[in-house]
Amino acid sequence: MSVRVLAAMSGGVDSSVAALLLKQQGYDVVGCSMHLYSCNRPASKSCCSAEDRLDARNVCEKIGIQFISLDYRSLFREKVIAPFIDEYQNGRTPSPCVLCNQHMKFRALLEEAEKHGAVAVATGHYARVEMRDGAYRLLRGADPKKDQSYFLFTLTQENLKKIYFPIGGLTKDEVRKIARDHGLPTSEKKESQEICFVPDNDYASFIESIRPSGIAGPGNFVGTDGKILGRHKGIHGYTVGQRRGLGFGVGARQYVVRIDPRTNEVVLGSGGDLLKREMTVGGVSWVDSKRIAQRAIEVQIRSTHAAAVATADPIGACQVKIRFEKPQRAVAPGQAAVFYSGDEVLGGGFID
């Protein structure tokens, strides 16, 4: 009897090819789509739609595997959407994809896998898992342009032994070619560059529509010297490093350098004011707790950020102080900070 694997199917080309490769390798694959959020978005927008689940079903039919759909909307609202709104209303910049991976794909789906007699969950992430020196190592994907290891730092040794990333060693072009060669209906499907549950990437309007009662309302833009520069529409509409969309000009180019929820102020400054050499990171978890003694690491503070050399000093059970070798731009509280040693993910947390 072949080994059963539950394949997470988003309706995109990456997860489609991941399921296909597992089938070709002889696994008994069950394709699974999660109904996470009903946002009534146009079909041209790729995520969270009924069209995506239909695409996933069609791929499963094409490659000859079972398909199931799971309604996780309530759990998604609790574990991803509510914290997302909380963070913006508290003047922080959330990392919802990290929470989605942690709670939905690699907690809820791992539990679902057991119900279906599956030994593992597979996804279309561009990341890799290898066994080295008696422990599982989480590594960057082979395609540096598509690497998604940044969003996976919460995975543990117990998780990694039950997770497969079938396309982690491939490039996006190679994945597209496999999809075309096998006639998969998702082979030319475009990728979404947005947060899946936020229509048109308009975070402020989304928050206002879901939880208007928690919005502090308009306040002051102030300079780093405390001088009032103008009025903002609400701190939930801004993030550290933002330049566009401020709604006014004050001569020299200005950036959001800090957000203060206590005073309802958005602090503006120069590009130089965005540079920080130190930060604290909370909610820290380690892929392999036996390796946390390593001090010289590289730290990535955004999904598009080039990891920077730093040292890490524990200052609590789940908190570390990071000191960068060179100052880094736009260190945003709430964003994930992920610790690497070369291509290996050591762990990570959220910027305090």
Q: Looking at the annotation, which residues are catalytic? A: 100, 196
Q: How far apart are the first and last CA of the chain?
A: 49
Do the strands 120-122 and 163-164 form a parallel or antiparallel pair, or are they unpaired? parallel
| 96-121: burial string, b at 16+ Cβ within 10 Å, e else | bbbbbbbbbbbebbbebbeeeebebb
